[in-house]
Structure 1
Amino acid sequence: MSDLPLSLRRAPRALLLDFGGVIFQTRKRIEGRDDFAASLVARAERAGRRIDVVTVRASLDAALTALGHWKHASSRRLEPREMTHREVVGDFIAADLPAPIRALLIAEAGEVLEDMNMLISDHEVRPGIPELLALAGERNIPLGIVSNAHSGRSHRRLLAAHGLAGAFAVQVYSDEVGMRKPHPRMIELASAALGVSPADAWYVGDTQDRDVVAGRRAGAGAVVLTASKHTDNPPFGVADTADAVFPTPEGLYEALRAAEPPLAAAPAPAAAPRDDRTALLIDHGGVISSSTPDDALLDAFCVDLARLLDGDDERVDAVRARGLIAAGRARHREFKARERLSPDGIREMDATTFWRDLVGDGLSPRARAVLEAEAHDLMFRYGRAKSRRTLRTGIRALLEQCAADGTTVVVVSNTISGRAVRAECAAHGLDHLIAAYVCSDENGFRKPDRRIVDEALLIADAAPSRTWFFGDKPQNDAAAAQALDVARRVLVRGGTTDDDALDAAAASGLATDVVDSASDLADLMTSARDAVGIAIP
């Protein structure tokens, strides 16, 4: 088969197959939906609940249409998650049914979805599959399955019923691993389980938007399609293409039979080379600007908050509103202290939790509902009202120098409102000098958790060795930067940390430099660039 692309002329070290459209051809049974609806009615009757099959069938029809749209939308995402069995049943299959029956079906969701898969469709082994599996066995090519599925257990059951289960060393189903194609991790997981790199595997599917895209994202050695009713009808345009498309798996069998023996294992892919980009990651509070409490601003905000909350069931004036905020902030400090000890990362609190649960603790249901509805706008307004911001000396000149040098600037801020941080920088006339803002309330994690800095580095597309981090808190800014090997970790005096703590951070190596102002950092960056011709020595 000399007309095959180079990627298929040498056999893989592992072969990964999709389930539907590759191993099995599925066909909707004419009576399938009625049979499944009847099975749901029977489940309800066993629990002493009666419901007519027409109602169940209507809910099922709506569910399957909506699920189709959800699957198409999910395949546009970079790393889509799979719904749990309980979500599929509760939010789709039984969404229109009475609450007790819906609860029953949710409780039995795994069995319900297994029944659905077995009753709605017939499954027939596709031509060429038995021969393909036998050939892979003869050539000692391990086999795996990578499939989106609402019921992996039903797939395992079908494989066993057709005598195929023993051919596969691993089976990866989306409902069992919590993600769905085109998430590349599914292919990576199957490859790892077979002891190979994705680059040494062929991945075979039948869809462009899920299978081809997943294979390319995972770096599979070859991506092949065996045509099904889905192959030529992607829900949206897909830029990636398969290495080959065969009408049936018989073509895949012939390609594998003709392929030369595999090469030695591919080396681990090297990290993508970076160009000469440099970056400045910079904190906001205490670094870009200093803050001074402003009672007039806060008083005006408390008047507005009281107006929102006051009612016959909850009397709130401006004085009480200020007390509620103070209590909420105290609880927030306790939350932050607990999070620093969490082994799962230092998470940021969302606006809804802050206002409804911390500020609104003990208020009437109506008042808490108001806080929940208004939480995001309240957080933005409060972020700007709790203090007045003043631009620190040398910041504008530093950012202008970065713009002239081609150094990407990303603000990395622990904040209750990234929207307020952006507004403050815009008010200072700095927004055109800043490439992006990575804020804890939007990222979900607070410094010193490395994930917030990792996102900023990805945006800047600069290696840590060519990056500066400018902050004022050793245990937040310098520690987060050090966790990602950022080369220069510069702390500024006059922020929220006393000089002794800053000097101790420099002495310990946590910080590389301590400066008096942003002007000093600008000088450091210029000296480093002039010394070796780049921004980091």
Structure 2
Amino acid sequence: MTLSLPRPRALLLDFGGVVFLTTKNPAGPSEATNRLAAILARAGHEVNREALSASISAGHTALKHWKHASSRRRHPKELSHREIVMDFLTSDLPDAHRHTLATEARRVLHDINSVMSHHTVRTGIFDLLAVAREHDIPVVIVSNAHSGDNHRRLLRAHGLDHLITAQIYSDEVGIRKPNPEMIELGAAAAGVDPHECWYVGDTMDRDVVTGRRAGVGAVFLTTSQHTANPPFAVADAPDAIVAEPADLVPLFAEALTRTVTPPAVPSSQSDNDGKRERPVLFLDHGGVISTSHSDDTLLTPFMSQVAQLLSRAGRAVSVDEVRHLLTSARAAHKDWKAQRRWEFDATGQPLREITAREFWVDLFGGPLSDQERALLRTEAVALMAAYGRAKSRRTQRPGIHDLVAACHSAQVPVVVVSNTVSGVAVRAECAAIGIDQFIAAYVCSDEVGVRKPDARILEHAVAVVNADPATSWFVGDKPENDAVVARSVGVANRVVMRGGATPDHLLEEALNSGLATHIVDSPRGVLDAMTILGRPDVPAIHV
């Protein structure tokens, strides 16, 4: 085998399929049942062994499907020990039994994992680790596991633990492969960067994908029962597939005698999926695309629909009662937002957006009966979309069509970034005024889960269109939200617009402090600024 491989400064190894070959223990299910039955009996529970065994078996089958589904995610998290025991292994058992076993969840999983499979050290592992030690190459175990304790026990029992620099198990760190953070943590524990590592696994969907996402120098597979049968098609490929770890020893030893500069970015991935960063126009919705004012001719029919919904519970509900509940819910929502903002400013925790269920069931429906609240819960998402359209009448800002059409013509993407209770309503409003065709994407707080000025919402928008913040523009009407979030993400051109929710003197303060870079009277002013400035970092846009 002839390969051009970078010289590794660390060796990262999966556990099962690489260090050990696992085979099912025919007596494992019975022994696992005995272990759990003993814990239940000690707590004074009468044990139905057949039901216990069936529940454990069903749980293992469900866990297998969950693992496969998790392998499709970009940054999967690991289940806790209690979740595995309570929600998978004992779901069919009485609550008292479930809670008893959950109190011993760590021990339960150790006991089950120790009896379900036999473990045999794979051919060549000792030789591979000996070469690593000879060349002072740290070795780190990076493994998905529901009992890292059991893996550590096996390494000790076979005399391998003293050859390992660090051991990283998903149940202990809370994430699982193909989350690239697993390998990033392994590399950090070895004191190197991921691109300086070789990674060896046995699965396509977890190990190869993890290695490529993390940007390791080389990825190898040692064949096991899992290698040839991934649960779904995998686009990434390993550098080589070998039968045993022994086949890696000469490759490893040879690579340690030379230097090949590793690629800075893994071949199958790049930070922007191969797309060049570009200038983008980010627009707030309310106050920029349109202005709004209350209009009872819209809100009254909506409240009538809510009254009809609640009346299904058998009590006649009037529009006036709905109006009172809605007024209270709005006031409570205002307080809710203020509290979340205080927590964000004080602690940096995510500035969360309220959910449709929280607004309609908890804030609006607080005084109502259980049945009425249940009806609200079933319709909460649809109610929020309808409320988003009915709570005010919107008027298109002059020049908005010209601005977005000019950007579209100049191939400058336009992304709407809005704090809103309903992204559905935002899209509908843009469609109603005829600009939806020019919008590249909508990033709405109710859908992303966080609000401006939390940087996460704009970071998401930047990723959607591969934006270059240094040449992009953000236009809003609230400096404390729009200009702040734009500056936090590095957007160079931060425009605040008169005529929205913020008094002019506060807009001037934002400009004078450097928080904002421009003040304009309308979307036409944005278009003029983007054209007249004429700097090389500003897109030239002409109507």
* 1:278-299 CA-partner distances (Å, limit 9, x unpaired): 2000000111011121112211
TM-aligned CA deviation for residue 275 of structure 1: 3.7
Matches within 5 A, 1:262-281: 263=259, 275=276, 277-281=278-282
TM-aligned CA deviation for residue 224 of structure 1: 0.5
The residue number in structure 1 matching 2:339 is 338
Matched, 1:347 2:352: yes
Matched, 1:535 2:542: no
Select 2:18's aligned residue among 22, 29, 33. 22
* Structure 1 unaligned residues grouped into runs of 5+: none
Distance change >3 Å, CA 426–CA 346, structure 1 → 2:
same
Matches within 5 A, 1:351-390: 351-390=356-395
Q: TM-score, normalised by structure 1?
A: 0.95
The residue number in structure 1 matching 2:397 is 392
CA RMSD of aligned residues (A): 2.0
Q: Which amino acid aligns with 1:521?
A: V
The residue number in structure 2 matching 1:50 is 46
Matched position secondary structure for 1:372 = helix
TM-aligned CA deviation for residue 176 of structure 1: 1.3
Contact 2:14 2:142 in 1 (8 A): yes
TM-aligned CA deviation for residue 308 of structure 1: 1.8
Q: Which moved more, 1:308-317 or 1:231-240?
A: 308-317
Contact 1:277 1:406 in 2 (8 A): no
Distance change >3 Å, CA 314–CA 116, structure 1 → 2:
farther
TM-aligned CA deviation for residue 258 of structure 1: 2.5
Q: TM-score, normalised by structure 2?
A: 0.94
Q: Which moved more, 1:348-357 or 1:25-34?
A: 348-357
Distance change >3 Å, CA 493–CA 132, structure 1 → 2:
same
* 1:197-241 CA-partner distances (Å, limit 9, x unpaired): 110000000000100000000000000101100001111111111
Matched, 1:500 2:516: no
The residue number in structure 2 matching 1:304 is 305
TM-aligned CA deviation for residue 17 of structure 1: 0.2
Distance change >3 Å, CA 265–CA 155, structure 1 → 2:
farther
The residue number in structure 1 matching 2:3 is 5
TM-aligned CA deviation for residue 11 of structure 1: 3.6
Distance change >3 Å, CA 473–CA 533, structure 1 → 2:
closer
TM-aligned CA deviation for residue 76 of structure 1: 1.0
* 1:466-519 CA-partner distances (Å, limit 9, x unpaired): 100011000000010011110110111101111111111111111100001101
Corresponding pairs, count = 532
Q: Distance in 2 between matches of 1:367 and 1:27?
A: 55
Select 1:517's aligned residue among 513, 518, 522. 522
Matched, 1:88 2:88: no
Q: Which moved more, 1:262-271 or 1:448-457?
A: 262-271
Distance change >3 Å, CA 92–CA 245, structure 1 → 2:
same
Contact 1:274 1:463 in 2 (8 A): no
**Percentage identity across aligned positions?**
51
TM-aligned CA deviation for residue 267 of structure 1: 9.8
The residue number in structure 1 matching 2:217 is 221
TM-aligned CA deviation for residue 316 of structure 1: 3.1
Matched, 1:77 2:82: no
Distance change >3 Å, CA 262–CA 347, structure 1 → 2:
farther
Contact 1:314 1:363 in 2 (8 A): no
Q: Distance in 2 between matches of 1:26 and 1:136?
A: 24
Select 2:61's aligned residue among 65, 71, 82. 65
The residue number in structure 1 matching 2:475 is 470
The residue number in structure 2 matching 1:107 is 103
Q: Distance in 1 between matches of 2:147 and 2:160?
A: 18
The residue number in structure 2 matching 1:461 is 466
TM-aligned CA deviation for residue 271 of structure 1: 6.8
Q: Which amino acid aligns with 1:242?
A: P
Q: Which amino acid aligns with 2:216?
A: A
Matched position secondary structure for 1:209 = helix
Matched, 1:437 2:442: yes
The residue number in structure 2 matching 1:291 is 292
Q: Distance in 1 between matches of 2:21 and 2:159?
A: 16
Q: Distance in 1 between matches of 2:352 and 2:231?
A: 36
Select 2:132's aligned residue among 132, 136, 139. 136
Q: Distance in 2 between matches of 1:265 and 1:195?
A: 18
* 1:115-162 CA-partner distances (Å, limit 9, x unpaired): 111011111111111121122111100010111111111111211222
The residue number in structure 1 matching 2:179 is 183
Q: Distance in 1 between matches of 2:185 and 2:330?
A: 43
Contact 2:531 2:540 in 1 (8 A): no
Contact 1:292 1:387 in 2 (8 A): yes
Q: Distance in 1 between matches of 2:152 and 2:260?
A: 32
TM-aligned CA deviation for residue 533 of structure 1: 7.7
Matches within 5 A, 1:111-122: 111-122=107-118
Q: Distance in 1 between matches of 2:132 and 2:540?
A: 52
Contact 1:197 1:266 in 2 (8 A): no
Q: Which amino acid aligns with 1:535?
A: P
Contact 2:198 2:217 in 1 (8 A): yes
Q: Which amino acid aligns with 2:539?
A: A
TM-aligned CA deviation for residue 254 of structure 1: 2.3
Select 2:233's aligned residue among 237, 261, 285. 237
Q: Which amino acid aligns with 2:388?
A: G
Distance change >3 Å, CA 376–CA 315, structure 1 → 2:
same
Contact 1:465 1:536 in 2 (8 A): no
Matched position secondary structure for 1:397 = helix
* Structure 2 unaligned residues grouped into runs of 5+: none
Matched position secondary structure for 2:120 = strand
Distance change >3 Å, CA 191–CA 363, structure 1 → 2:
same
Q: Which amino acid aligns with 2:117?
A: S
Q: Which moved more, 1:373-382 or 1:410-419?
A: 373-382
Distance change >3 Å, CA 536–CA 290, structure 1 → 2:
same
The residue number in structure 1 matching 2:122 is 126
Matched, 1:403 2:408: yes
Q: Which amino acid aligns with 1:30?
A: P
Q: Which moved more, 1:104-113 or 1:243-252?
A: 104-113
Matched, 1:484 2:516: no
Matched position secondary structure for 2:191 = coil
Distance change >3 Å, CA 502–CA 262, structure 1 → 2:
farther
Contact 1:325 1:359 in 2 (8 A): yes
The residue number in structure 1 matching 2:193 is 197
TM-aligned CA deviation for residue 265 of structure 1: 9.2
Q: Which moved more, 1:484-493 or 1:61-70?
A: 61-70
Matched position secondary structure for 1:175 = helix
The residue number in structure 2 matching 1:174 is 170
Q: Distance in 2 between matches of 1:83 and 1:316?
A: 45
TM-aligned CA deviation for residue 268 of structure 1: 7.4
Q: Which amino acid aligns with 1:505?
A: A
Q: Distance in 2 between matches of 1:469 and 1:462?
A: 12
